[in-house]
Structure 1
Amino acid sequence: MLSVLRIRNISAPNSACSALRRAYTTPAPKWNTTIGLELHVQLSAKQKLFSPASAKWDDPANSNIDLPGRFLALDGTVQPTSAFDRKHYFYADQPLGYQITQSARPIGRGGQIELGSADGLSYTRRVRIHQLQLEQDTAKSIHNVYPGYVLSDLNRAGVALVEIVSEADMCTADEAAHYVRRMQTLLRHIGVSNCNMEEGSLRCDVNVSVFRDGDDPLSGTRCELKNLNSLKVIRGAIEAESARQIAVIESGQTVGQETRGYDARTNTTFLQRSKETAPDYRYMPEPDIPPVRVTEAWVDAVRNAMPELPDRLLARVTEHYGLLRDEVETMMGEPGCIALFEAVMATGKHDAKRVASWITSEIFGQLAYRNQKLADSQLTPQLLDDILDALANSQVTSAQAKQLLIELMDGDKRKVGELIEAHGWRVMDDQSELRNIIAVLLEKHPNEIADYRAGNKRRMNFFVGKVMGATKGQAKPQDFLDSKPE
């Protein structure tokens, strides 16, 4: 089973990059940038690629070891036959001394990501996909625990990667960040990964080179920036490395092909090692794994099972329900939220704006407080429908409806109606009783009434609070505001 998706670029720059200039700290805007990315995305799978060991990366270190042992969403083409190779190198993160990968015969070719106005760009940029290939992940290297030592956690070693190799069609740091965000949204939506950069399930390396106006875009020397863990860091690293390369060239020196790190505190890149080239890896066909052959019928079955893709879903939901684009994008950011929204809307009882607001504010707030995903909560469309029904039918106040949500997400198994009765939350609808309570409060607070009549309209909040306290939150403010002191 697949466990990690890895997305990379090759140096086949789009000539359109020359037309879009990128000025950094240099005095004249005569430089252009060629950018490509490697996204390492951990997929939602239980086992490693060629091993029965668990792919769970966050278990105790070195507990998941067995050393011997949806590309269609990008509009790509699955190859009928693919094959594996051994990529040889010696490093602590690769205990076998080689990596099983695909080089000459990958599993997929083609595809693209389209950037444009939806990403805040005033132009369109098509980032083409060159190929997709399967390979094993490496161990996780842990630095700065013991001075002079690098620790290795082998749980990740052997976990499957799908490496998507893009053409180097990006020309600015913003384009690169938008590309990562779009891929993150797409991969989350089709259910292959949670793509959380902070936990390492989405890892990003960036390839950067610069060239002058009029020069061949291939003339620049590519440097790879490793382990960039946020969109902000990606932007900063690209700009810092571009500025460094420009300064090196303008000083009369030559940019070396290197692997570099980025220090966000100083906004500089630093040398890690000289960049290896393909011959250094001594590729050879993997002798223990036969070629993989897939049928057109299987590809068609996968294609037919694909969910509605993000761009189409965004356009449909925005138009059909009359929501703002930002509202829909926010719901799309949490897997399962659009399905929850549409299931509640299918009842035909609720306003789309109110349902979307409850999801993006109240429900998202509770998920964040619990550090929980919607899929891991017990909230269902029926429960949300029941809460909104109780609120719309004046059975509970807004504050009580929010408390219902908290109780249900805390794990209470009772129905909404049962919770309302158990807590005595049903809204007071006896207007005669309410008027009597208000009359008593007004008699007790003559000074506040005088203050209100003197022009201090904030005193109304005082009386609202007193009524809500006297009714234990069971009164609706709109029911008694007409009784304000005059």
Structure 2
Amino acid sequence: MNSHAGSAANMPWKATVGLELHAQLAASQKLFSAASAKWNDPPNTNVNAVDAGLPGSMPRLNPDCVELAARAILSLNGRVQPMSYFDRKHYFYSDQPLGYQITQQQQPIGRGGHIELGPMDGLSYTKRVRIHQLQLEQDTAKSIHGMYAGHTLIDLNRAGVGLIEIVTEPDMETADEAIRFIRKIQALLRHVGVSSCNMEDGSLRCDVNVSVYHSTESRLSGTRCELKNLNSLKTIRGAIDAEVLRQTELIASGNVVQQETRGFDAQSGKTVLARSKETAPDYRYMPEPDLPSVHITEDWVELVRSSLPELPEAMISRVVQQYGLVREDVVTMLGEPGCIKFFEQVAKGRDPKRVAAWITSEVFGQLSYRAQRLSECTLSVQQFAGLFDAMSRKSITSAQAKQLLIEFMNGSAHTADELIKAHGWEVMDDLEQIRDLGVQLLAKHPKEAAEYRAGRQRRLNFFVSQIVAATKGQARPQDVSRIVKELLDARNE
């Protein structure tokens, strides 16, 4: 940070932040062709004439994508437009085989809506972020750099995959607000089945618009710069903070902020010029001549609305109240598609707090280790419920339950009881056998026993761990600790 940065931070400057989120739709086929939308299959295997931009090929709108877009705008508290149409956005780049992108700049499928942020989202205040519009558009191809020196390879699998672009109003003021908004959008779109929204694989991408203005002027008086190619929440946070600082320093020193498109260099922590910012005339928008306008009836909108699941805010409030959970745990489970339903099925007749704690710690830990989603793993409701039933009967220890969970998630189709029996994991209830092991162990380690009696209380842990290991984890640590302590203290009498 240069010497001017400190003084700039104390000046009465404020920032406005708006987002453009591009989410790949969870449709089996592309937006305008019958090709598979599996963009991560072997390169150039899911592509047809429309996607490749071959002369004479004609686009045909996929109705599944229209329904997914409608689900998205309705879940955002917005409205589905009774009439929308498509535009051509002209630009020439290697990832755009048509020479233009089909989008909905002028008359999108959705308008309005909002997301509420507040203390439960990690803010100490409330903030409403308004949605300007939600539009359908086709994705570009994927450019692959560095495989062959001096060459860029193109994979057309992604070309034509259906996207929704969610454009917010510039209602955010900090990087923190933007990050929390994105996280909430991710959870919402996953929950209603619109998109997987994984930034790590590109199914959610984000452009950010940032401007800085003097607190005595209109909040829209600043010059807007767009930040592109931000592929993680960490990068988005760093880019917004860096751009706000850059613009603040420029204005405070009497310079003018130019309208630009910029990238972010994570190594230097600064935004870098990519190109002069294009405006709408630069793209030469025109109505798409090969696609008719989309007309939607109110009856169809109500049908889509009725098919939506319980929306996140309502679900969070209900689950917190019904099961007595901490709201943060419910929000965490909500972020994993299908997890709340999984939790509720397992929690029937069981301790819901214990079930939630195991899901958010042990299950999520295993999913993270495996880079899996809950829907992709082999753990069933019956297996997980059986694990809790076994712990409730005190048939197994907590450590053994964790081993059971690992076997379930490794693909075992056996029940909890079957695996417990196969491994010989039944908890040892014969306390006299534990006592005999304790007597033998104290006789074998008189030095450690003497150290315990001399005041080194932690020596108790030595004896407990030895007996638990000798019984292959079948002895309950609390039983062992109590019995060994009785034996050691008896020698002092």
TM-score (norm 2): 0.89
- 1:47, 1:54 within 8 Å by CA — same for their partners in 2? yes
* 1:265 match: 267
Could you report, residue by residue, the CA deviation over 1:79-124 in whole angstroms, capped at 9, with x for unpaired residues? 1221112122212221101111112221111100112222333332
Aligned with 1:174 (options 176, 179, 184):
176
Moved more, 279-288 or 140-149: 140-149
- 2:379, 2:411 within 8 Å by CA — same for their partners in 1? no
| Distance in 1 between residues matched to 2:6 and 2:299, nearest whole Å | 51
Q: Are the structure 2 counterparts of residues 254 and 29 from structure 1 closer, same or farther at C-alpha, using a change threshold of 3 Å? A: closer
Look up the SS of the partner of 2:439 in the other structure.
helix
| Distance in 1 between residues matched to 2:109 and 2:23, nearest whole Å | 17
Could you report, residue by residue, the CA deviation over 1:151-174 in whole angstroms, capped at 9, with x for unpaired residues? 433221111111222211112222
* 1:49 match: 31
* 2:417 match: 417
- Give yes or no for the alignment of 1:439 onto 2:439: yes
Aligned with 1:38 (options 20, 40, 63):
20
| Distance in 2 between residues matched to 1:213 and 1:413, nearest whole Å | 63
Look up the SS of the partner of 1:388 in the other structure.
helix
Aligned with 1:58 (options 32, 40, 53):
40
* 1:137 match: 139
* 1:351 match: 351
- 1:448, 1:459 within 8 Å by CA — same for their partners in 2? yes
* 2:374 match: 374
| Distance in 1 between residues matched to 2:462 and 2:104, nearest whole Å | 71
Q: Are the structure 2 counterparts of residues 152 and 253 from structure 1 closer, same or farther at C-alpha, using a change threshold of 3 Å? A: farther
* 2:67 match: none
* 1:13 match: none
- 1:129, 1:164 within 8 Å by CA — same for their partners in 2? yes
Aligned with 1:274 (options 268, 273, 276):
276
- 2:95, 2:140 within 8 Å by CA — same for their partners in 1? yes
| Distance in 1 between residues matched to 2:77 and 2:331, nearest whole Å | 22
| Distance in 1 between residues matched to 2:210 and 2:119, nearest whole Å | 24
- 1:24, 1:242 within 8 Å by CA — same for their partners in 2? no
* 2:461 match: 461
Amino acid at match of 2:247: Q
| Distance in 1 between residues matched to 2:481 and 2:343, nearest whole Å | 33
Moved more, 207-216 or 130-139: 207-216
TM-score (norm 1): 0.90
- Give yes or no for the alignment of 1:157 onto 2:159: yes
Per the TM alignment, residue 136 of structure 1 is displaced from its structure 2 partner at its CA by 0.8
| Distance in 2 between residues matched to 1:224 and 1:144, nearest whole Å | 26
Per the TM alignment, residue 71 of structure 1 is displaced from its structure 2 partner at its CA by 1.4
- 1:92, 1:152 within 8 Å by CA — same for their partners in 2? yes
* 2:65 match: none
- 2:27, 2:162 within 8 Å by CA — same for their partners in 1? no
| Distance in 2 between residues matched to 1:171 and 1:366, nearest whole Å | 36
- 1:24, 1:243 within 8 Å by CA — same for their partners in 2? no
| Distance in 2 between residues matched to 1:480 and 1:218, nearest whole Å | 69
Q: Are the structure 2 counterparts of residues 458 and 422 from structure 1 closer, same or farther at C-alpha, using a change threshold of 3 Å? A: same
Q: Are the structure 2 counterparts of residues 28 and 337 from structure 1 closer, same or farther at C-alpha, using a change threshold of 3 Å? A: same
Moved more, 198-207 or 238-247: 238-247
Q: Are the structure 2 counterparts of residues 249 and 45 from structure 1 closer, same or farther at C-alpha, using a change threshold of 3 Å? A: same
List structure 1 runs of 4+ shifted beyond 6 angstroms. none
Per the TM alignment, residue 445 of structure 1 is displaced from its structure 2 partner at its CA by 2.3
| Distance in 1 between residues matched to 2:196 and 2:207, nearest whole Å | 18
| Distance in 2 between residues matched to 1:37 and 1:116, nearest whole Å | 18
| Distance in 2 between residues matched to 1:151 and 1:271, nearest whole Å | 24
| Distance in 1 between residues matched to 2:257 and 2:376, nearest whole Å | 49
* 2:66 match: none
Aligned with 1:226 (options 225, 228, 251):
228
Moved more, 115-124 or 361-370: 115-124
How many positions carry a matched residue from both structures? 462
Amino acid at match of 2:211: S
Amino acid at match of 1:225: L
Moved more, 278-287 or 213-222: 213-222
- Give yes or no for the alignment of 1:26 onto 2:28: no
- 1:25, 1:243 within 8 Å by CA — same for their partners in 2? no
- 1:378, 1:408 within 8 Å by CA — same for their partners in 2? yes
Look up the SS of the partner of 1:54 in the other structure.
coil
| Distance in 1 between residues matched to 2:254 and 2:11, nearest whole Å | 18
| Distance in 2 between residues matched to 1:404 and 1:129, nearest whole Å | 46
* 2:193 match: 191
Moved more, 405-414 or 105-114: 405-414
Look up the SS of the partner of 2:220 in the other structure.
helix
Per the TM alignment, residue 185 of structure 1 is displaced from its structure 2 partner at its CA by 1.7
